[in-house]
Amino acid sequence: MRRVLVVEDETSIRELIALNLQMAGYQVLEAGSAEQGLALLSQGQKCDAAVLDVMLPGMNGFSLCETIRRDDPNIGIIILSAKSMEQDKIRGLSIGADDYMTKPFSVSELLARIEALCRRVNRGAAEAPVPDETRMVSGQFILDQKSRVLYKAGKPIDLTQVEFQIMELFFQNPGTALVREKILEGVWGENYYGDVKIVDVNIRRLRMKVEDEPSSPKHILTVWGYGYRWNG
Distance CA 192, CA 17 (A): 19
Closest to 70 measured CA to CA, from 41, 96, 91? 96
The CATH H-level superfamily of 3-126 is Response regulator (3.40.50.2300)
- pLDDT at residue 133, as a whole number: 56
pLDDT digits (tens, 9 = 90+) for 62-81: 999 999 998 888 899 999 88
Check if the beta carbon of residue 5 is closer than 8 Å to that of residue 29.
yes
Instruction: Please tell me whether residue 213 adopts helix, strand or coil conformation.
Output: coil
Q: DSSP secondary-structure letter at 151?
A: E
Beta bridge partners of 227: 179, 223
- pLDDT at residue 124, as a whole number: 52
Q: Is 105 exposed, middle or buried (0-12, 13-18, 19+ CB in 10 A)?
A: middle
Task: List, by residue range, all CATH 1.10.10.10 domains of the chain.
Answer: 130-230
Q: How many Å from the N-terminal Cα to the C-terminal Cα in the chain?
A: 39
User: In Å, how far from its chain's centre is CA 191?
Assistant: 16
CATH number of 130-230: 1.10.10.10
- pLDDT at residue 113, as a whole number: 87
- pLDDT at residue 122, as a whole number: 62
Instruction: Please tell me whether residue 59 adopts helix, strand or coil conformation.
Output: coil
Q: Which residues of the chain have pLDDT under 50?
A: 126-132
Task: List, by residue range, all CATH 3.40.50.2300 domains of the chain.
Answer: 3-126
- pLDDT at residue 44, as a whole number: 81
Check if the beta carbon of residue 195 is closer than 8 Å to that of residue 183.
no
Beta bridge partners of 20: none
In terms of DSSP bridges, do strands 76-81 and 99-102 run parallel, antiparallel, or are they unpaired?
Answer: parallel
Instruction: Please tell me whether residue 128 adopts helix, strand or coil conformation.
Output: coil
- pLDDT at residue 123, as a whole number: 54
What's the one-letter identity of residue 98? Answer: D
Instruction: Please tell me whether residue 76 adopts helix, strand or coil conformation.
Output: strand
